[in-house]
Amino acid sequence: METAIPGIILIEPSVHRDDRGFFLESYRESSYRDGGIRARFVQDNHSSSVKNTLRGLHGQSPNPQGKLVRVIEGEIFDVSVDARRGSPTFGKHFATRLSAENFHQLYIPPGLLHGFLVTSDVAQVVYKCTDFYRPEADFSVAWNDPEIGIDWPIDAPILSEKDRCAPRLRDVENQLIDYSA
């Protein structure tokens, strides 16, 4: 399902449940291509975090990463921010809850920032990336940037030092990809 920000796609996979548990296809290239995701994934990541941990808002420039995100344990409040200079939705965000229970996935195209808050006791998040992680290209934007205006369900999250000191979006705008190019 397309969202208000071009390129962000919320996926609600078919889950087959019975008294033994469940089965679903977590990824099938042809189905995702038919749904509008034409990305080639080159790296898988997996994180585990405790309740109230906020990771983000993270980006990579150059070589921005598209991500296909899902939760395999717990629940997160997941946020994507359009950081593509020249985009009509620049600085706008999309937020949703992803959980092991709802099985939803979120595709975030290259050029967007990504972050999430763990709302359960623990959450394990896995995501596929369209480009390799490059430490020299990695950057963060303040999770509470007032110009973005995300209504996080927390006031004092657990943050890394990098995320605690992150600048506002307008302060990193010169290093972002140009959407209009």
Three-state secondary structure readout of 45-65:
EEEEEECCEEEEEEEECCCCC
Instruction: Decide: 115 and 58 in contact? Cβ < 8 Å.
Output: yes
User: How would you classify the pairing of strands 112-118 and 75-82?
Assistant: antiparallel
Length of the chain: 181
Q: Is 169 helix (H, G, I), strand (E, B) or coil?
A: helix
Q: How far apart are CA 140 and CA 59, in angstroms?
A: 6
pTM: 0.95
Percentage of the residues of the chain whose pLDDT score is greater than 90: 95
Catalytic residue among 93, 104, 114, 127: 127
List, in order of start, the domains of the chain with CATH numbers. 9-175 (2.60.120.10)
| The pLDDT of residue 181 is above 90 | no
* Mean residue pLDDT across the chain: 96
**Any catalytic annotation for residue 32?**
no
**Any catalytic annotation for residue 58?**
yes
Catalytic residue among 16, 32, 58, 104: 58
Q: For 96-112, what is the mean pLDDT?
A: 97
Q: For 122-128, what is the mean pLDDT?
A: 98
Greatest distance between any 2 Cα atoms in the chain? 54
